[in-house]
Amino acid sequence: MSGCSTLKLVYNQADEAAYWWLDSYVDFTDKQKPLVKDTLRQLHQWHRQTQLPEYVSLLQKMRAWAPHDIQPEQVCAVTQDMQNSFVSLLHQVEPEATKLISQLSESQLQRIRKKYDKLNREWREDYLDVSEEKRLRYRSKQLLNRLEDFYGSLDTPQREAVLLWLKSSTFNPTTSFKERQRRQADALQTFTRIANSGSQSVSSTQSQLRAWVDRGFTPPDEAVHAYSQSLRQENCEGFAKLHNSTTRAQRERLAENLFTYENIVQSLVMKK
């Protein structure tokens, strides 16, 4: 999505893209389709009016510190802002999502389970059922591609620093996979309870959905939660260290890219 026109096109059709993505999990019935499409259209408009201005402010903040050395706390603050925005989106759609989930049939719930199984097989192929060397190669390629999208080409010492960052990480594919499975099982159990809620009040079922969202960001297992927090802190420290090693030209490239995205997002806010 690095091209301006591509990013605009993707965002302007986000409600349609989201529909097809959700449908790949659920396979909506003809009766469910109007509710889903109308909900996504309203959510898209709400997001444009309320969330995009926050993205502009966030990009401006990042552009302001791009020329300077930064601290891990600044990076973590940005990731927290992004998480908060996503949680706001989920809360915004709670009533409609609860109504839709209450209409899910057993066959649709089983379809979600099969989709999870398929995605888990792919995840295992990339992260779990491979040698440590191959996993490190895969992770470093992904991270370097993202970094160079913003900074331009990294030199050899910088690329080695990224490799060391990943090598020293506490990332544990087994732990991550188990947590992934827990979230999926939690989703299916929550959806099943809501679908079978019968005479339960709307507020009760919405509370169940909100609790599920909260568990997705804060694992109930204290050890897993600590593991997630440790990974997050490592990534903040790794990014800050990498940024602080960049040249003036690389920082200027970052600032230019952030300014480009800022203008794109601002233009999307203006679009009616």
Do the Cβ atoms of 233 and 77 come closer than 8 Å?
A: no
Work out the percent of the chain whose per-residue pLDDT is above 90: 93
Three-state SS for 105-118 is CHHHHHHHHHHHHH
Q: What is the pLDDT of residues 76-92, one digit of tens each?
A: 999 999 999 999 999 99
Look at residue 98 in the predicted model and tell me its pLDDT: 94
Q: What is the DSSP string of the chain?
A: --SHHHHHHHHHTHHHHHHHHHHHHH---TTTHHHHHHHHHHHHHHIIIIIHHHHHHHHHHHHHHTTS---HHHHHHHHHHHHHHHHHHHHHTHHHHHHHHTT--HHHHHHHHHHHHHHHHHHIIIIISS-HHHHHHHHHHHHHHHHHHHH----HHHHHHHHHHHHT----HHHHHHHHHHHHHHHHHHHHHHHT-TT--HHHHHHHHHHHHHHHHS-SSHHHHHHHHHHHHHHHHHHHHHHHT--HHHHHHHHHHHHHHHHHHHHHHH--
- Taking the C-alpha atoms of residue 80 and residue 238, their distance in angstroms, rounded to an integer, is 16
Name the nearest CA neighbour of 223 among 167, 175, 177.
175
Between the alpha carbon of residue 86 and those of residues 38, 77, 178, 207, 211, the distances in Å are 20, 14, 23, 18, 15
Look at residue 4 in the predicted model and tell me its pLDDT: 65
The whole-number average pLDDT for the span 145-151 is 95
Do the Cβ atoms of 40 and 92 come closer than 8 Å?
A: no
The whole-number average pLDDT for the span 56-65 is 96
Q: What is the pLDDT of residues 242-268, one digit of tens each?
A: 999 999 999 999 999 999 999 999 999
- Taking the C-alpha atoms of residue 152 and residue 166, their distance in angstroms, rounded to an integer, is 20
Q: What is the pLDDT of residues 152-208, one digit of tens each?
A: 999 999 999 999 999 999 999 999 999 999 999 999 999 999 999 876 778 889 999
Query: Which pLDDT band holds residue 1 (cuts at 50, 70, 90)?
Result: very low
The answer, yes or no, to whether residue 271 has pLDDT greater than 90, is no
Domain boundaries, the chain: 4-270
Whole-number mean pLDDT of the chain? 94
The pair of structure tokens assigned to 198 is 């019968």
For the CA atoms of the chain, what is the radius of gyration? 21
The whole-number average pLDDT for the span 112-123 is 97
Q: Which amino acid does the sequence have at 19? A: Y
Query: Which pLDDT band holds residue 7 (cuts at 50, 70, 90)?
Result: confident
Q: What is the pTM of this model?
A: 0.91
